[in-house]
Structure 1
């Protein structure tokens, strides 16, 4: 069993589910990924689940007019991003005279509950923007902050400053340091003509509320809000609309047997995996699943504390992005987080994780022999 993870190739690559594993399942707990900075930059594109989405593949709920309106607004936003900046490349970044800055917001901010298709729309905007892939970037909030950590602030500004568009998924401010960092970064990028788009479950003026003393950082939060035009998207969670209930957890024996029978599957006990996640930076959770066809977990139980819960949320997001089924024994996924957590400042994150893990559990059901 490998105790390290190669950083060559794509984070998103994984083998198809087929046949018995030749050497038995691997363990995520045995992996300690190291991701070089150049890979972080190269992989700032929509993940596999959203690689083929477009505005015309989004299916607005007829009962929610805001969904169709969002498609119209974002299509127009994308069309307006063509022109010299998109085609001028690096030379424009260094030698072109800057145009006067507009006082209008340079971005759109998709706000709504979990499961209304915000990431689908954000990825569609990325695809629709008339610029070559090297001049537009797509990443989660945690991936963006980690990029700054890997490259340094000034180098990140230089790397992204020539882009036409920066898309930030799951925009959340969980600590004051991130608030100041991101406020400064986005302000610098806007000055260089970069358009912004973001998704979140929290309005830009409410970022950080319930999680830290937001009032102490009101100036930074207001500065962030000024960069965006909020676009509210209402609706129900599409992942479970009209679908049967998620399968009940399987037994340890069923999960273990399926892991050994599935090529590329991983097998971990849930408490051990939670401990391991504390040793890996969340920005590397995608790399943690390189080459994994299915994640098999035994002894799933309630998450013990909020720090652990937030790490699990990030892992759930990366598994969902990469369309990796999750087969589990123990308690159902809707019992992972305590009532206190579900009523606290991070409640929307936890509900998103439950929704996504439930969808992945449904995908994993065929792995168990009937």
Structure 2
């Protein structure tokens, strides 16, 4: 490739972006991300060796159909004036309990799509995005904004930050009182697979006052991102990554340590906007992440890239060496395992960007 060609097709840089995201955009973007925009229950392919996957589809489809009636707020209030105590109501929430890559987000997005309500009456976001929304709008305004919804879906409910968990649990309590149906997912830790409802027990304990509103659904299986698929490609040379970035319209090119430093200057709520219109992310010099704060920011970026199906081409160390053993065995390990799984999938998607 000639020098002039490289100059004419200069790639973008994530480090040059400092997006501002107004609060109304955060609300408007509470829909399934592009990766899950077209998924439906009938596009979910259950593992024939895991009957819990088929059962989950059936239960969730029935749950969605049951959300087609009028908003429950008025009905809930009328109960105070009834002489007879009402019969116990069916759970107004479902919790998808399972390991990595069993399709929980696919099913959660399918539930959102199948619920018979206008998109403006349904909300979908990760736990981190929900806490960011509270930070942007304030607690009371977030309650007011979401109280009129038919359904709130929360992906990757986090149990490792007590403060955030209490905040979101309190928020969900207000929304349940307003008649909003809830659905959530989280991950069973890799070291806890096979121990029954470990993740469900954790989840229900952390949201003590809401436990009765959730029906746990166990989804067993292996990570589909690696089921029968080739291993992720080994890291490329710096020169290969640089040439691919120049040859790919809409690609970004950044030095990995510089990107990590830049993420510290951008609030995680803006990482989605940071990736706007990107066709690929090219990174040179991938090294181990130096500390936990940096690692947690990288996890959020990995989630946004995965949601938006942005391939990641990299040189340096492979992604399964990003996090130290101490991190992988610590309190945030489920986040790091998820990031490794998703970055590996994106690295596989990027393989075609390199000229053979």
Scaled by the length of structure 2, what TM-score is found?
0.89
Query: Partners of 1:158 and 1:314 in 2: how far apart?
Result: 27
Do the aligned partners of 1:204 and 1:221 also contact (CA within 8 Å) in 2?
no
Q: Which residue of 1 aligns with 2:202?
A: 206
Q: Which residue of 1 aligns with 2:179?
A: 193
State the Cα distance separating 1:186 from its structure 2 match.
0.3
Q: Which residue of 2 aligns with 1:34?
A: 20
Alignment of 1:56-135 (within 5 A): 56-85=42-71, 98-100=77-79, 104-135=90-121
Give the one of 34, 52, 56 matched to 1:48: 34
Q: Which residue of 2 aligns with 1:236?
A: 222
Do the aligned partners of 1:114 and 1:348 also contact (CA within 8 Å) in 2?
no
Q: Which residue of 2 aligns with 1:175?
A: 161
Do the aligned partners of 2:158 and 2:165 also contact (CA within 8 Å) in 1?
no
Q: Summarize deviations over 1:281-335 as a string: whole Å, max 9, x none.
A: 2121111101111000000011112221111111111101100000000011111
Which structure 1 residue ranges, 4+ long, deviate > 6 Å from structure 2?
A: none
Query: Partners of 2:153 and 2:91 in 1: how far apart?
Result: 15
Give the one of 339, 348, 370 matched to 2:334: 348
Q: Which moved more, 1:173-182 or 1:146-155?
A: 173-182
Q: Does 1:339 align with 2:325?
A: yes
Q: Which residue of 2 aligns with 1:7?
A: none
Give the one of 209, 227, 241 matched to 1:255: 241
| Residues paired across the two proteins, number | 335
Do the aligned partners of 1:98 and 1:192 also contact (CA within 8 Å) in 2?
no
Alignment of 1:117-156 (within 5 A): 117-156=103-142
State the Cα distance separating 1:204 from its structure 2 match.
4.6
Q: Summarize deviations over 1:44-83 as a string: whole Å, max 9, x none.
A: 1101110000000000001111100100110110010011
Give the one of 253, 256, 261 matched to 1:267: 253
- Report the CA distance shift for 1:132/1:235 in structure 2 as closer, same or farther (over 3 A): same
Q: Which moved more, 1:105-114 or 1:47-56?
A: 105-114
SS state at 1:85 partner: coil
Q: Summarize deviations over 1:13-61 as a string: whole Å, max 9, x none.
A: xxxxxx9784511111111111101111111110111000000000000
Do the aligned partners of 2:101 and 2:225 also contact (CA within 8 Å) in 1?
yes
Q: Which residue of 1 aligns with 2:269?
A: 283
Do the aligned partners of 1:21 and 1:264 also contact (CA within 8 Å) in 2?
no
- Report the CA distance shift for 1:348/1:174 in structure 2 as closer, same or farther (over 3 A): closer
Query: Partners of 1:275 and 1:205 in 2: how far apart?
Result: 37
Query: Partners of 1:225 and 1:205 in 2: how far apart?
Result: 10
Do the aligned partners of 1:26 and 1:265 also contact (CA within 8 Å) in 2?
yes
State the Cα distance separating 1:140 from its structure 2 match.
0.7
Query: Partners of 1:204 and 1:78 in 2: how far apart?
Result: 21
Alignment of 1:350-365 (within 5 A): 350-365=336-351
Q: Which residue of 2 aligns with 1:367?
A: 353
Query: Partners of 2:249 and 2:7 in 1: how far apart?
Result: 4
Query: Partners of 1:99 and 1:267 in 2: how far apart?
Result: 59
> Superposition RMSD on alpha carbons, in Å?
2.0
Query: Partners of 1:97 and 1:368 in 2: how far apart?
Result: 58
Do the aligned partners of 2:9 and 2:247 also contact (CA within 8 Å) in 1?
no
Do the aligned partners of 1:334 and 1:354 also contact (CA within 8 Å) in 2?
yes
Query: Partners of 1:21 and 1:183 in 2: how far apart?
Result: 52
Do the aligned partners of 2:158 and 2:186 also contact (CA within 8 Å) in 1?
yes
Do the aligned partners of 1:113 and 1:348 also contact (CA within 8 Å) in 2?
no
Query: Partners of 1:183 and 1:177 in 2: how far apart?
Result: 10
Q: Summarize deviations over 1:194-214 as a string: whole Å, max 9, x none.
A: 000011015254259xxxxxx
State the Cα distance separating 1:176 from its structure 2 match.
2.5
Do the aligned partners of 2:159 and 2:202 also contact (CA within 8 Å) in 1?
no
Query: Partners of 1:355 and 1:155 in 2: how far apart?
Result: 35
| Gap runs ≥5 in structure 2 | 80-85, 189-198
